[in-house]
């Protein structure tokens, strides 16, 4: 076992331990994110040095991100959601977001959380770190498949407050986000913007009581 692989296993164990064992959906992700940031910028494994690099203008990424976010939301609401509810016979539990309906203050706070937790933290962990880590632990193509499936499963699992249908829908969205990440030269910032915009669209639909 090379030093790089050993370090990757240790950091992966810490990150997964924090996510799974700490029963707070914000604290666990924040701590896991901080571990990843320290890992990347301490240069313990040079393969991760480019995790936060962006070879495009952030302004140019915004319209692309919005397009992806709209497409995923359309697919989720008009294709995936009906199929999942038919399969589970259980609607998504949006009860935790009831306070957002018609409440501008709650809506604004939810937007901020959606961008910081959903956009920055979740994309860094689930698409940026986990995919690259699993690639390093297995033959590249096999590791990539395992990484996409495992990260999407864990991503969906952590949304248990939305019920089984919410978990399945979120997990499927995780697969889409992984595909977007891989198809765009692993530009993590693009995924951060896509995820943030997806959450913004969802909050707008809830705020205006459309869903």
pLDDT digits (tens, 9 = 90+) for 165-207: 999 999 999 999 999 999 999 999 999 999 999 999 999 999 9
Q: How much is the pLDDT for 49?
A: 87
pLDDT reading at 133 higher than 90:
yes
**C-alpha 173: how far from its chain's center?**
9
Per the CB < 8 A criterion, the answer to whether 128 and 188 are in contact is yes
Read off the pLDDT band of 146 (50, 70, 90): very high
Q: How much is the pLDDT for 1?
A: 66
Q: How much is the pLDDT for 46?
A: 82
pLDDT reading at 152 higher than 70:
yes
pLDDT digits (tens, 9 = 90+) for 87-110: 999 999 999 999 999 999 999 999
69-104 b/e with 16+ CB inside 10 Å = b? Answer: beebbeebbeebbeebeeebeeebebeebeebeeee
What percentage of the chain carries pLDDT values higher than 90?
A: 90
pLDDT reading at 14 higher than 90:
yes
| Separation between Cα atoms, residue 77 and residue 199, nearest integer Å | 13
């Amino acid at each position: 076992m090379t030093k790089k692989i050993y370090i990757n296993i240790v950091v992966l164990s810490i990150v997964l331990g924090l996510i799974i064992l700490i029963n707070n959906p914000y604290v666990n992700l924040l701590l896991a994110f901080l571990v990843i940031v320290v890992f990347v910028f301490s240069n313990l494994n040079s393969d991760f040095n480019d995790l936060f690099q962006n070879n495009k203008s952030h302004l140019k990424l915004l319209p692309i991100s919005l397009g992806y976010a709209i497409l995923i939301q359309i697919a989720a609401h008009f294709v995936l959601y009906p199929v999942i509810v038919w399969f589970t016979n259980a609607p998504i539990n949006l009860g935790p977001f009831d306070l957002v309906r018609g409440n501008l203050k709650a809506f604004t706070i939810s937007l901020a959380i959606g961008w910081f937790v959903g956009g920055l933290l979740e994309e860094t962990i689930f698409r940026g770190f986990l995919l690259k880590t699993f690639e390093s632990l297995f033959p590249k193509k096999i590791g990539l498949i395992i990484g996409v499936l495992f990260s999407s499963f864990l991503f969906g699992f952590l949304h248990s407050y939305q019920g089984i249908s919410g978990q399945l829908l979120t997990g499927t969205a995780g697969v889409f986000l992984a595909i977007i990440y891989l198809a765009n030269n692993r530009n993590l910032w693009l995924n951060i913007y896509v995820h943030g915009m997806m959450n913004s669209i969802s909050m707008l639909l809830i705020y205006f009581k459309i869903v």
